[in-house]
Structure 1
């Protein structure tokens, strides 16, 4: 692990400003060869859109991990910032194509960090495309964990080559699959990162994407294969839920502070005669009940912690029910691709569907691939022993990576650490009311990823030991 900047060294660290580098120093990196990899291109990107001028380096870590490293042309702060990727990844630098900070290099580059990310080891047609993994254990391994270490290794070579010295500190940031990668980094590479930011972590892919998402899909599928709860009634349900739950925390602010604190009764919405837009049929009420409950087998055993949380209704179109004009329902796309190409040691292929998942026999069949993908082990003692600091955050209104797993992981991690106080020396958890998955969609109150800033409190924690109290962006 890079040496942390202790309080006594903070002033010295603040004076660390790398000199400006000539354009030729950047382009000269083209063709650089390092162990098990090489640089494919290097070019200077001018200052634009709030980002400083930087040297953009594209590299390959053999056999097939595409990596992008961005090196500030001047004002390097001497540190390194690595970003994860979302969904099944496969699109290099996708997060940096927009203005958001989730899984993007932008937050680090804006503050003078050398930054990097990868495609996790394959090219995908979209982030819900997993066909690349069909009978391809090498690619599954790279996506599961190896791309994290290889991105760090390649970035280290290029930082040394460009600046003539290594980074003195390293931070990892990711959300969703990037959050899974964050937890994987703490487990498999406990000394690699001084600080880790994990958002809405999909840390148990076999439990979540294979089991839970298949449950949600099956719950909303009629005998003839058509959806039961269609787009259009999310607002009806959401209004009833908010009316019963908003004040459970003592404040009526349009947010549900903790869905576990409210017992919702939707019987008042039941249709009395025929189905209508302003009521719920018995079948629709049954779907919601199963969504709230989460996956179980015939014996009643819970197969994944919790279900779809109350307060997530405004976001159901994108994840669960589909959008009125078409599209959305991404939970189904993730479950279908994962089950067909990634979840099982012997991939069933494109003919597989979430309706094929057997809750009695299939959970046991997931064990082999769970060892490749999952990062929900609560024992992060090696990371803690190395002095690492970790901020974990999750929206209470997340309707794909349901928040109960994150709470479950935190409680188990506290038990392993010897209590919550001991865990809090290295891990801080923030559960955000009313926030969609990774804050991608603004909620009814406007809350989104733009309102969050976990990097500033993490930097303070690493610099002088000030434990974070909030991850909300400054006004």
Structure 2
């Protein structure tokens, strides 16, 4: 069905190609943005809006740069009624800058998708990819609404996994060709979390679509892996949480902010200076052997130590989820000090901040939703993350994980044959996808491809960074600029420039290609990247 649908779209584009080419030169001008809405094809509807330069920011943004002049295109295609009785379509937004640089960027989604995010390329720090001249597209991945209810419709499951992305990529490229009267010279993808999974998916299922891809903190085995880890961690913390007035455990209080600060200090005291300077970052995680047991109280619990139950829960969590036979169900986690910083999102993913037994951690309200709605087959709204059975329930995830997960293919033969370039970026304090999982994938990729791996794929770890951004880290990362130089100039990135934001404003660091790390040279301002080398 998928192949027939794509053949139909391609046939339609071919059929109208001659007609559109007649006015193609005119459509290359932003004054004809309104007229471009007439590019309606069977099964597709478009709305356009000419956006003047320096007149607006992306929806929801109250600060930061204004957007350049562009034509905003919102589209719908493949409208249908789902098996669950709800209407569905594939929605997308394409923004076409007046001053186009000849490049196309597909901006990945995240979470359960279901929303069309502003197509501006926000992960192209500094600023927006749109403002740098890229034509940018986003999609809702074939369903409407951010919850996992779409998992009750089998076509929506497939659309979310890969099919909607295929159609949006093909459609966006064709609309770009029509609008500018020429195809994009180069095509790029950048996404984090679910968008990182989509990035990996494209290199595997549709390897010819993109010249360069950035997969940040990819959800590569979320539908049978990281979600199991979320249940494991939630149960470990819930078991030690103090009880509230109603006698029920209060998840958020299993570890208070002072407890997390103790862990942060313990890791920093043991490992911070191993990269040549004590700067609040553990840049050489392979050398860090800190054991959280060193923080255990010798007597009564006070603010200077952790209770034995807290130490036990943390050790259980950082060792990783297992079944009753001791077989790993996910990965271990690096004990990065970023987890204990209040600017990191570790608390909100693992613990939340609800003062009652009704937890608001993202593991409970987001991961449980996905677990129930589309990670188990058939969907099961009665399945509680608190009651997940690590022996029985993983088998219920098999039917979906094979079409959704992206951790198995370490050959990437088609992507290599095309000459594609792939960058991985992952925060070491990420609370939802372990950096150890990312390192494992890259090591397997290297074992499969040998020395030529560096010619097409590189991994960059970010000390202190949480999920996709934030934390005590240099989390403003110009990965896109490095990727463009790699694809178009052949300049393989030995390091990627990064700078601090909320916690370390003004600080710069090189993010070194794994397994290297940034080491202080021993002199000069330690806030300046030029005084660090990759070793």
TM-score tier, shorter chain, comes to 0.7 to 0.9
Q: Is the 8 A contact 1:61 1:154 kept in 2?
A: no
Q: Are 1:60 and 2:60 matched, yes or no? A: no
Q: Show CA shifts across 1:415-459 (max 9, x none).
A: 221x1x2111111111121222111x231xx532x2x10111111
Corresponding residue for residue 400 of structure 1: 432
**3-state SS, counterpart of residue 145 of structure 1:** helix
Q: Pairwise mapping of residues 47-446 of structure 1 onto structure 2 (< 5 A)?
A: 47-48=53-54, 49-63=65-79, 64-73=89-98, 75-93=99-117, 101-102=122-123, 107-125=128-146, 129-133=147-151, 135-222=152-239, 225-227=249-251, 229-232=254-257, 233-307=259-333, 309-311=335-337, 312-314=339-341, 315=344, 316-323=346-353, 329-349=361-381, 351-376=382-407, 377-417=409-449, 419=450, 421-439=451-469, 441-443=470-472
Distance in 1 between residues matched to 2:207 and 2:102, nearest whole Å: 21
Distance in 1 between residues matched to 2:335 and 2:295, nearest whole Å: 18
Q: How far did 1:194 drift?
A: 0.5
Q: Is the 8 A contact 1:198 1:392 kept in 2?
A: yes
**3-state SS, counterpart of residue 319 of structure 1:** helix
Higher relative contact order (CA 8 A, sep 6+): 1
Distance in 1 between residues matched to 2:51 and 2:118, nearest whole Å: 17
Corresponding residue for residue 10 of structure 1: none
**3-state SS, counterpart of residue 96 of structure 2:** strand
Q: Show CA shifts across 1:244-275 (max 9, x none).
A: 12133443222112434322233343234444
**3-state SS, counterpart of residue 495 of structure 2:** coil
Distance in 1 between residues matched to 2:172 and 2:438, nearest whole Å: 30
Normalised by the length of structure 1, the TM-score is 0.86
Q: Show CA shifts across 1:307-336 (max 9, x none).
A: 363322323222212237898621332321
Residues 1:116 and 1:380: Cα distance change in structure 2 (over 3 Å): same
Corresponding residue for residue 9 of structure 1: none
Distance in 1 between residues matched to 2:161 and 2:127, nearest whole Å: 24
Structure 1: segments with no counterpart, 5+ residues: 1-17
Distance in 2 between residues matched to 1:28 and 1:231, nearest whole Å: 57
Distance in 2 between residues matched to 1:138 and 1:89, nearest whole Å: 15
Q: How far did 1:106 drift?
A: 6.4
**3-state SS, counterpart of residue 428 of structure 1:** strand
Q: Is the 8 A contact 1:208 1:304 kept in 2?
A: yes
Q: How far did 1:123 drift?
A: 2.0
Distance in 2 between residues matched to 1:151 and 1:194, nearest whole Å: 17
Residues 1:325 and 1:154: Cα distance change in structure 2 (over 3 Å): farther
Distance in 2 between residues matched to 1:442 and 1:407, nearest whole Å: 20
**3-state SS, counterpart of residue 163 of structure 2:** helix
Corresponding residue for residue 493 of structure 2: 468
State the superposition RMSD in angstroms.
2.5
Q: Show CA shifts across 1:122-143 (max 9, x none).
A: 2224xxx32232x112111111
Q: Is the 8 A contact 2:263 2:340 kept in 1?
A: yes
Distance in 2 between residues matched to 1:62 and 1:210, nearest whole Å: 30
Q: Show CA shifts across 1:156-208 (max 9, x none).
A: 22112211221121000101111000000100110000010111111111233
Distance in 2 between residues matched to 1:273 and 1:262, nearest whole Å: 27
Q: Is the 8 A contact 2:430 2:465 kept in 1?
A: yes
The range that moved more, 356-365 or 397-406, is 356-365
Give the number of equivalent residue pairs. 441
Distance in 1 between residues matched to 2:214 and 2:29, nearest whole Å: 33
Q: Is the 8 A contact 1:317 1:328 kept in 2?
A: no
Q: How far did 1:214 drift?
A: 1.0
Structure 2: segments with no counterpart, 5+ residues: 1-24, 55-64, 80-88, 241-247, 500-507, 509-535
**3-state SS, counterpart of residue 38 of structure 1:** strand
Residues 1:71 and 1:329: Cα distance change in structure 2 (over 3 Å): same
Distance in 2 between residues matched to 1:185 and 1:201, nearest whole Å: 12
Distance in 2 between residues matched to 1:473 and 1:278, nearest whole Å: 34
Residues 1:86 and 1:102: Cα distance change in structure 2 (over 3 Å): farther
Q: Is the 8 A contact 1:79 1:167 kept in 2?
A: yes
Distance in 1 between residues matched to 2:186 and 2:294, nearest whole Å: 56
Distance in 1 between residues matched to 2:306 and 2:377, nearest whole Å: 41
Q: Is the 8 A contact 2:93 2:119 kept in 1?
A: no
Q: Are 1:25 and 2:32 matched, yes or no? A: yes
